[in-house]
Structure 1
């Protein structure tokens, strides 16, 4: 339990102390140190769970199994990488007077509190507290979406809050229905909403109420995850937020909302005898398909990446819906691969936006010449996120397709393949236009900042290495998480 409390306290303390440090150089280095400590504690906790057994405490309110350990590992990894990237990014914004010193410090306060809320979601056992944690992620991240306080940013934050609030209300109703489904089993016991109790008694829950509850939770948390057709807030929010925040939103916030869905899915799929799979396949495939026209006619770089996030959340959901050992392995591997590749893309896009002072694709050209490090990495990241070999996303997408064919989901898998090909064509077309060509006249050939350039190499290594070789220890981790999704207790 000590590791869990440390994990939750560190980002809160880091944000509060960084907020009070007046010297910008000390502030940014302190927050990196705090994020690194959070990374060490998070990985230590995850290793303890994955090599031992789930952790339970606080009278059953806290619970970390393989699924929770996997999600919190992604949060601390992307969080640390984004904290490093933030140093260069926010230093440039401060130097160009895009923000004030007070806003600079507030950024680090809200950034680390945002990480704390997502970590809290990953360690709670009670579904009511899980709902509270996801609601807190909305409230804190909305402040970061509106960070620049411009009209478009405020509008995006308002849309995010409205749609997030509607979605979270649906999720709350779903959790209430879960409680009702177990009244005949638990009575009015205070632990009736604990996930461990519900999953153990899932075969005895009322199937009619569980069916209704799962639909409400899927729509509610699916709104936060960016599943279509509840995704409309996502392109605005991700495009208006600072680039390191976009990386966290896309890389781990969407996963955290999916985590909430999967917790309920595990219960529902047992109660409904496997019938919950079809809902995930439907929403997953629809989310992939709806992004195609928006990517093919896109004019804004960060909005294109945001629609790509809708696609990949759909792919993860589809993989879990396909199920089986291969489908689940591919889906969970894709959660990790997408987090790394999309973080790399948003970091690269942030460097490009700051260099060109624009997010419009038609105003960006010659990136390969102007940014000698960011340009090639951006090109690699674009090929990676679209599922091109030999990068990591190709491996997980291919595995999901293999699971689909072996599971007899031929029509679904062929549709998935065709949609992915169209998205590949659109994104690579725009990427080539930006990377090659003549750069604007008199633009200096120089990277924006050493910190923001160095941060690119952390996810880059994963994107390349995991496309060629998935380490055996990581395969074992995926198998343990798959057991949880199939109703096991690891």
Structure 2
């Protein structure tokens, strides 16, 4: 029942939030449920640390190190977003951005979103995992359009249409995987269980498996924000409430990438690693390249953060595609590092919006004077997200790049050299855009002071992870990352 309880916590929290009509109560239930999930995930993590994997309900649920890391990201960022939501949504309610009765539905959808992402992590059956990834789209569409205004509705429609097309293509990939395996596994109930498929993947029909992985990387890559299938992402991230933007960028993209990795492992065992690794590198580098001009010329800070997410997902795909033990280790560490740093950025952006009532960077000045705590945290978050030493993203990027340079492959060296140039350009874009807002002279009409103690508390919570991993990767995390590297390389 260990895995079932893991799923029940956000489900019960969601139901409790919607049944209690007083939002002053539901918001604290939301935080309590998220905190309980975080504590339980620590316990589950220790169990996986000892046993390497855990199965339940005759193999219907399966958790290994790869599942656990994604679930840890869900629970850490989920708790921070729940805490941040108290201050942020109360401020929006006070500004009459939406009616009070709608707030409990926000918390309901928030925890249903958490539930669907956890379902992605623990589903052993690839068909059920597909259903869970599609369910994340359905639960979040209403959150993108939560304010029920024209820009939000347009972003919600764009999000659901593009992601539904992508997830449909991924379904073809799942079906083709089944057909490539049915002569080996047979037409039985567990024919799509990842653990059973992996055991016999070397006997699959290779041509079907090639086509299957192509559909998977395009389909799930749409939801993960890989270019050129990324077009929904800047609109959805910019129009959703800031806590949801943090969950989108920090968690949802990783859940979709998790689906790609599961198929990457099967494909590697069937075809050898070169085919799927080449596709990962191609889509990864394309994502980094596509993000650069938009980061350099961007005027909306939430869209800037969104395009940065495309760049970082591309970097993770490149690290996985390089295929070395340490590049995979670094890429998976990067998923956690990016999740906490980018969520921290979106929280800073939410505070700025509540204070200045605009997302246009040219209209925001003197943050360090008007909001000193947010300003200092924003400086750290910008340095972290751009990979400046010694911050956490520098650590994971250095591991990936060092392993790539030591590989000796001319092909990998070209990709790595280009990547370093692109990362420098992205750093320039961030510094040029964000530091003008922070250090310029503030307008006299802006009242000094922070927005809410809850938003600051949530930001400090994530800041702890950013700073700790900048200098020290905990031993249990090192073991989990090593186990993930073994899972992917030893297929």
Tell me the TM-score normalized by structure 1. Answer: 0.98
Residue 373 of structure 2 corresponds to 373
Residue 226 of structure 2 corresponds to 227
Q: 1:483 aligns with which of 475, 481, 486?
A: 486
CA distances 1:35-79 after superposition (whole Å, capped 9, x unpaired): 111111122112211221311122221111111111111101110
Residue 266 of structure 1 corresponds to 265
Instruction: Name the CA distance, whole Å, in 1 between partners of 2:309 and 2:66.
Output: 21
1:290 equivalent in alignment to 2:290: yes
Check whether the contact 1:323–1:403 (CA below 8 A) recurs between aligned residues.
no
CA distances 1:161-213 after superposition (whole Å, capped 9, x unpaired): 11111000100000000001012201212211110011111111111111000
Instruction: Name the CA distance, whole Å, in 1 between partners of 2:364 and 2:44.
Output: 43
Instruction: Name the CA distance, whole Å, in 2 between partners of 1:289 and 1:223.
Output: 16
Check whether the contact 1:14–1:34 (CA below 8 A) recurs between aligned residues.
yes
Instruction: Name the CA distance, whole Å, in 2 between partners of 1:53 and 1:474.
Output: 13
Residue 19 of structure 1 corresponds to 18
1:382 equivalent in alignment to 2:415: no
Q: 2:416 aligns with which of 391, 407, 413?
A: 413
Secondary structure at 1:99 match in 2? coil
1:33 equivalent in alignment to 2:32: yes
Check whether the contact 2:145–2:153 (CA below 8 A) recurs between aligned residues.
yes
Residue 392 of structure 2 corresponds to 392
Instruction: Name the CA distance, whole Å, in 1 between partners of 2:457 and 2:376.
Output: 14
* Structure 1 segment 325-404 matched on structure 2, within 5 A: 325-404=325-404
Residue 438 of structure 1 corresponds to 441
State the Cα RMSD in Å: 1.0
Check whether the contact 2:295–2:426 (CA below 8 A) recurs between aligned residues.
yes
Check whether the contact 1:15–1:110 (CA below 8 A) recurs between aligned residues.
yes
Instruction: Name the CA distance, whole Å, in 2 between partners of 1:3 and 1:186.
Output: 28
Ranges in structure 1 where 5+ consecutive residues have no aligned partner: none
Ranges in structure 2 where 5+ consecutive residues have no aligned partner: none
CA distances 1:404-431 after superposition (whole Å, capped 9, x unpaired): 1112211000000000000000011111
Secondary structure at 2:273 match in 1? coil
Check whether the contact 2:226–2:287 (CA below 8 A) recurs between aligned residues.
yes
Instruction: Name the CA distance, whole Å, in 1 between partners of 2:191 and 2:49.
Output: 26
Instruction: Name the CA distance, whole Å, in 2 between partners of 1:43 and 1:470.
Output: 16
Check whether the contact 1:199–1:487 (CA below 8 A) recurs between aligned residues.
no
Check whether the contact 1:50–1:69 (CA below 8 A) recurs between aligned residues.
no
Secondary structure at 1:60 match in 2? coil
Aligned-residue offset at 1:96: 1.2
- Paired residues, number: 487
